Amino acid sequence: MKKRLIVQGQLSDAQLATLEHLFEVTQLSKAMSLDAPDNRHYLAEAHGIIGSGLAITPELLDAAPKLEVISTISVGYDNIPVDELTRRGIMLCNTPDVLTETTADTGFTLIMATARRVVELAEWVKAGQWEASIGPSLYGSDVHGKTLGMVGFGRIGQAVAKRGALGFGMKVLYSNASPKPAIEQQLGATRRELDELLAESDFVCVTVPLTAETERLIGAQQFALMKRSAIFINIARGKVVDESALINALENGVIKAAGLDVFEQEPLSASSPLPHMLNVVALPHIGSATHETREAMTQRAVDNTRLALQGKPPISLVNKEVNQ
């Protein structure tokens, strides 16, 4: 008898066909909560769940006694109780590696767009205000040769740093990560304590995962340590930053500008001032959102799920102790 799989996310026809050949597949709309009453009978028989933005709770797990694997189409899994899954012997898989370069592209796009005031000036042209050469009030800031401070230095942080060091001659500092001697040698990077990095950097780019330790890692005290000319970039998670402190820092000239792909609340509240501030470039969490990368992410999730339900080690297993 085939194992049963719940799909709550967008897969290609070919990917879905692969899964349907191997498993009994039930597709659920993302508009409906996974643990909605109408879905309980699917959960009761499910051996696997694959999808994006999965909201997993202990109560949902109670309703899925046969569950063997959850495969999230993302690198982050802060909305999934990993310890609870491990205790129950349920594998959690994610999709690292395949989105590293694309997310780093987004990070450096924000660095460039914010420093050179690209969005603000593009809107200025659209509004018909370009009637003469621009003056100093509309000048941006150089990126090349500046100091780039990476808060977090995993795969994505290192990829952003490579773009800065090798492409723009930037001096790279990093914090909130273990020593990385190989990448230090390659890029001339230097490890710093967070407070030192904030004080020295022209651009501060956050890439740490969201954990209990990193929630609100950057707040009023940290912004006060930065240069008044500093530009702040966040491609990590919104809750890593105290958003009210960020708004205050931007409104009061504590820092110069910010490029943001993530926010405390997503989508952004209509009442948020951030998208209306001239010194902010705000994106709708597009970090990995290209056709090629999203296809690669869903394929990795499909492969993880297939291997796990066939009794083989998944490619990207988060809680490796389950498979020991």
b or e along 108-135 (b: 16 or more beta carbons within 10 Å of the residue's beta carbon)?
Answer: bbbbbbbbebebbeeeeeeeeeeeeeee
Distances (CA, A) of 181 to 56, 91, 97, 99: 38, 32, 20, 24
3-class secondary-structure state, position 43: helix
Active site residue 116: no
Residue 85 tokens, joined = 């899954």
Tokens at 28, concatenated: 């659920």
Is 40 among the catalytic positions?
Answer: no
Helix (H) or strand (E) holding 148: strand 147-151
Q: How far apart are CA 90 and CA 309, in angstroms?
A: 11
Task: Check if 285 is active-site.
Answer: yes
88, 155, 191, 285: the active-site residue: 285
Which among 237, 294, 300, 306 is annotated as catalytic? 237
Residue 169 in tokens: 């001659």
Query: Between β-strands 24-27 and 48-51, what pairing exists: parallel, antiparallel or unpaired?
Result: unpaired
The active-site residue, picked from 215, 251, 266, 292, is: 266
Please give the backbone phi and psi of residue 60, each rounded to the nearest 5 degrees, phi first: -65, -40
Active-site residue numbers?
A: 237, 266, 285
